[in-house]
Structure 1
């Protein structure tokens, strides 16, 4: 298999790139990220992944779901993973699509790289897509949807890291993130009330100082090491190789290719 391809991105704003270093074995990381029963437990982009078909070459077809409060987005995908690179690296490529008019993500493709290091594995993803939801989706993609997806991917990668390194269940890390966010939000509300009190003239100096201190603490105090953070990930490729998709992506069949069974409802 060739190493890379230099095709143009399928979207209008360039691919989403996320990278994190994980102190674990290649085998454990491969299992946690490739097992369709385990993958949705840490990845915020999926609620369910169901394998549906595979061929002799290792190409697999799957259905995916993303559950919203009042609607479940459904789509299909194809994937192919390689573990036997001479340099010890592993790669996985995928293509996906959906007919759901409410999905902000249209047809797209992506890749994962697993690069062994002295401390563990560099885990990398790059993916791109055509915006969904018609004109509205195109308007929101660059400023809202794509940044939100990049953040969700990075937060998911840190949840995976905590699971692989410390055996911290993704549900527990999610709860810790929610508690941390609520505490910080409460601190900002308290700071706003204190600063409002300072404007009334009652103990103005003390209220202003305390309000500013609380606001700074809410924003700047680092999260506990067991609280997942998107900021622990790289969001831009540090080298050319990491940002290029494996050549297998170019020949991977699309989910709706003739010969695959129709998507099951």
Structure 2
């Protein structure tokens, strides 16, 4: 089985900062490991000779107590008035590492308003055609995404002064909120409305429209709309209007339940508690939107 060669990974961003600031943030291992999602730890290996190239070790934690370790060599290129370059080669001897060896470069181009920062790198994989297939379909897109996300975190750090750990924590909170809203809408649309018809919800609708058959049909329609709302929570999770919609919808549903049967507010996990929880979740999601990092903010195709 033959797998076609994959394209090198290319990521580019523009950072409104000085050349020295981005140079320090990318060439100092302690600073580098703060913003680069691909590495958990980076450390320089002491040189035996000043003329020797700078070698480094890297560690990437992949979960379940496992980690990938490797070594590399970085070579700062010649400085020019408006441009710098840093080349690197890396490899790992670990049998579980998909990446066997690779190389690439970082390029820094000074422009009027800041620095254009870009990278291009490629690597060889283990595990023959299975490794190449897995790399092409899953691992390489993931590496490209992680590189682009890391570049945007670096950009936010240098432009806004927001530390990378805060950006990643904000992104995690945003992801949890997105999943929470999506799951809530889809579950309440699927389980008590389509898979089964909740007796209490049927009674509420029947009290409004008077017909049980129409109440069942309306309940199913509402279920499909709620599933659609859950899908929108995923697709539009970076839109402020989505969170305003969630808050407004919860308030309107609570008012509708109160008009239909005020006694439902006496039950455990009633509209007052559930809808308020969703409103607060949506409010938190809205708060995370400011300076939220995204891989989409970077250029991913080489000009």
TM-score category, normalised to shorter length: 0.7 to 0.9
Q: 2:44 — aligned with what?
A: 51
Hey, what does 1:129 align to over in structure 2? 123
* Aligned partner of 2:18 among 18, 25, 35: 25
**Could you tell me which residue of structure 2 aligns to residue 237 of structure 1?**
302
From the superposition, tell whether residues 42 and 79 of structure 1 become closer, same or farther in structure 2 (CA, over 3 Å): same
Measure how far apart 1:138 and its partner are. 2.3
Among 217, 228, 241, the residue aligned to 2:233: 217
Structure 1 equivalent of residue 54 of structure 2: 60
77, 80, 83: which one aligns with 1:82: 77
Higher alpha-carbon Rg: 2
CA distance in 2, matches of 1:94, 1:231: 25
Contact 1:48-1:66 at 8 Å conserved across structures: yes
Q: Measure, in 2, the Cα distance between the counterparts of 1:183 and 1:30.
A: 35
Partner Cα distance (2:163, 2:16) in 1: 16
SS of the aligned residue for 1:161 comes to helix
SS at structure 1 position matched to 2:29: coil
In structure 2, the partner of 1:195 is 189
**Residues 41-50 or 74-83, more deviating:** 74-83
Which structure has the higher relative contact order (CA within 8 Å, separation 6+)?
Answer: 1
The number of equivalent residue pairs is: 227
Decide which of 228, 231, 236 is 2:293's aligned counterpart.
228
Which range is displaced more, 62-71 or 192-201? Answer: 192-201
> Do the aligned partners of 1:12 and 1:130 also contact (CA within 8 Å) in 2?
no
Query: Partners of 1:41 and 1:132 in 2: how far apart?
Result: 28
Shift of 1:98: 1.1
1:108 alignment partner, SS class: strand
Q: Does residue 250 of structure 2 align to residue 185 of structure 1? A: no
Consecutive unaligned residues in structure 1, runs of 5 or more: 1-10, 239-265
Name the structure 1 match of 2:100: 106
Deviation at 1:123, TM superposition (A): 1.0
Matched, 1:155 2:220: no
TM-score by length of 2: 0.69
Q: Which structure is higher in helix share? A: 2
Unmatched runs of 5 consecutive residues or more in structure 2: 198-215, 240-288
Query: Could you report, residue by residue, the CA deviation over 1:83-138 in whole angstroms, capped at 9, with x for unpaired residues?
Result: 6214x111110001110111111110010111112221111010000013455422
**Are the aligned partners of 1:58 and 1:81 in contact in 2 as well (CA < 8 Å)?**
no
